[in-house]
Amino acid sequence: MSNLNCTNSTSLDPMVLAMMNNGSKFMNDEQQQKVDLKNLSPDELLEFLSGMGKERFRCDQLLRWIYKRGVTDLEQMTDLSKVLRAELSEKSIISDWTPEVVETSSDGTRKFLFRLADGSSVETVRIPMENDRSTLCISTQVGCAMQCNFCLTGTFGFKRNLTTAEIVNQVCAVLKEGPINNIVLMGMGEPLHNIDNVVRALKIFYAPTGLDYGTRKVTLSTCGLVPEMAELGKRITVNLAVSLNATTDEVRDLLMPVNKRYPLKELMTACRKYPLASHRRITFEYILIRDLNDSIADAKRIVKLLHGIKAKVNLIPFNEHEGSQYRCPDRDTIEGRLWSTKG
């Protein structure tokens, strides 16, 4: 049973969090008028180049330079003609990120704060796994509009969606430190509230000449936006994780306002209809909160709720933070005495 949960269990130092709404690194007017090639899916990049009268193979060349080799300076792309490089320089840029702050925990977890062009910030977390593997938890929005009242990110409010380039650049920047085995869209924001840019980013993650991740290596976590779940399933393949956190509408309404729009019955129906690839399961994330959702009755209800769904449950002890009324369960509950997966 994994304890991976970026939004609840990881956070930067309070001094760093205070920087989230400060800063003034803006792109100049010329940069803003140019197309950032990292904002384009592979198909869109092909269309962009075709509009310039260029051959199809140029698309793969550019993708390999940007994502396989990590090159963002057109002048270093030596198998492109000087004429093409000059034309691309007139019309486009290729953004490149360097973290403003990096923190390393005793367990090897590395937290990156990236400053955006408008002065906003997002957090990305690299989590060490067994056998020298790692998982990268990335953000999809500045803040979050879902207002889950146990979530630290929710206290920041919602500012804006991240662009495709801003989603992809989190991966590109951290890849400079070494390989990333898995990507989880579980950081700041609700991915399905930014579905177009997220789907575009996923296409870049999957492209053989892009970042070349298999669909099994990427997981998207949602609070349960039912219509967008259906749309996601039609548009692209991705592992799905659902932030559940309660077994009754009464408690989930309290924890997650989205439940008032899409109560548990609708959410479970959407999960049953979600198209799963062979041998895949939906992960249900369940943050255990003392005396609220951690009882034996809750354990029994979750079994009934998930009946008929190919599912696995990720139990996550609540990570206490300043200003929250909620508390972590006792050790017996966390270690599975009450929530035994063998029962």
Residue pLDDT, tens place only, 23-35: 334 455 555 689 9
List, for residues 176-213, the tens digit of each pLDDT value. 999 999 999 999 999 999 999 999 999 999 999 999 99
Q: What is the mean pLDDT of residues 270-289?
A: 95
Higher pLDDT, 93 or 324: 93
Question: For the whole model, what pTM was predicted?
Answer: 0.89
pLDDT band for position 5 (cuts 50, 70, 90): low
Please report the pLDDT score of residue 164 as a whole number.
98
Please report the pLDDT score of residue 82 as a whole number.
96
Please report the pLDDT score of residue 96 as a whole number.
98
Domains in the chain: ranges and CATH? 6-23+97-334 (3.20.20.70), 29-93 (1.10.150.530)
Please report the pLDDT score of residue 173 as a whole number.
98
Please report the pLDDT score of residue 50 as a whole number.
97
pLDDT band for position 342 (cuts 50, 70, 90): very low
Lowest-pLDDT range of 14-28, 44-58, 100-114, 124-138: 14-28
Structure tokens, 208: 């053989």
Please report the pLDDT score of residue 110 as a whole number.
98
Residue percentage of the chain with pLDDT more than 70: 88
Q: What is the mean pLDDT of residues 120-126?
A: 97
Q: Residue 1 pLDDT more than 50? A: no
Please report the pLDDT score of residue 14 as a whole number.
45
List, for residues 303-328, the tens digit of each pLDDT value. 999 999 999 999 999 988 888 889 99
pLDDT band for position 17 (cuts 50, 70, 90): very low
Please report the pLDDT score of residue 303 as a whole number.
95
Q: Residue 339 pLDDT more than 50? A: yes
- What's the rounded Cα separation, in Å, for the pair 125 and 111? 4
Please report the pLDDT score of residue 2 as a whole number.
38
List, for residues 219-240, the tens digit of each pLDDT value. 999 999 999 999 999 999 999 9
Please report the pLDDT score of residue 27 as a whole number.
53
Please report the pLDDT score of residue 176 as a whole number.
97
Q: Residue 65 pLDDT more than 60? A: yes
